[in-house]
Amino acid sequence: MLELKNLTKKFDKRIILDGVNFSIDDGKILCIVGQSGAGKTTLLRCISGLERADAGEILVDGKKFDPVNTKNQDSVIGIVFQEFQLFPHLSALENIMLAPELVLKETKVQAKEQAQDLLEKLSLKDKADLYPYQLSGGQKQRLAIARALAMKPKILCYDEPTSALDPALRDAVKKIIVALKKDGITQIVVTHDMEFAKQIADKILKVEVLKK
């Protein structure tokens, strides 16, 4: 279970997140919705340790968790960025294998086996040796999901997973997210698409643009 208590984030003097509270049970899907500029991305960045929150705390399974300093901890958060941020110089397979090898110290054989399973699961089996520039938007996104899953995170977060895709692919993402839920993965989905959120969410958190 992930809990946020009173999480506050300012940029300079401007308050972006003012005491955000939520909790999400294992294996559930939380959607964070709100207009552009409301602070959804900022919230994800605080949870994943890319920004340091100014106040409040994050608890994982009831224990205090500092996402900025994750040395010697298990993988807690995985992220699928809005622009995916795949590594352009690595093939699809290598994109997935890199972190498990370097960080989890898996052997090449282990890492490769797992990466191939993930590629298969995300219908990218025949794309293993292609480079990101050779993939379509939807394929890039699935590769980004596979790369994050390879680190076996407790919680997988997505930033606007539908924004870079044409409508036909929206359903494809939905299917993936729902399938991962069946596997017991806890997911946080940031979106400005209320319709999409309603279709997949167990719980919806709205963030509002704060005046001043």
Partner 1 sequence: MNYILEILPSLLNGAKLTLEIFFWTLIGSLPLGLLVGLGLTSSFMPLRALLRFYVWLMRGTPLLLQLIFVFYGLPLIANGVFTLERYDAALFAFILNYTAYFAEIFRGGLQSIDQGQYESAKVLRLSYWQTIRKIITPQVIKIVLPSIGNEVINLVKDSSLVYVIGLGDLLRAGNIATSRDVTLTPLILVGIIYLILTAFCTYILQKLERHYSYWR
> Tokens standing for 89?
């110089």
Binder of residue 70, out of ligand ADP, Mg ion, partner 1, none (CB less than 5 to 8 A by kind): partner 1
Q: Is 38 in the site for ligand ADP (CB under 6 A)?
A: yes
User: Which member of 41, 95, 114, 191 binds Mg ion (CB under 5 A)?
Assistant: 41
Site residues (CB under 8 A) for partner 1, limited to 1-60: 48-50
User: Which member of 151, 169, 172, 194 binds partner 1 (CB under 8 A)?
Assistant: 151
What is the C-alpha R_g of the chain? 17
Give the interface segment with Mg ion, choosing from 38-46, 48-56, 141-149, 203-211 (CB under 5 A).
Answer: 38-46
User: Which member of 2, 31, 39, 187 binds ligand ADP (CB under 6 A)?
Assistant: 39
The CA distance from 158 to 102, in Å, is 23
Binder of residue 34, out of Mg ion, partner 1, ligand ADP, none (CB less than 5 to 8 A by kind): ligand ADP
Return residues touching ligand ADP (CB under 6 A): 11, 16, 34, 36-42
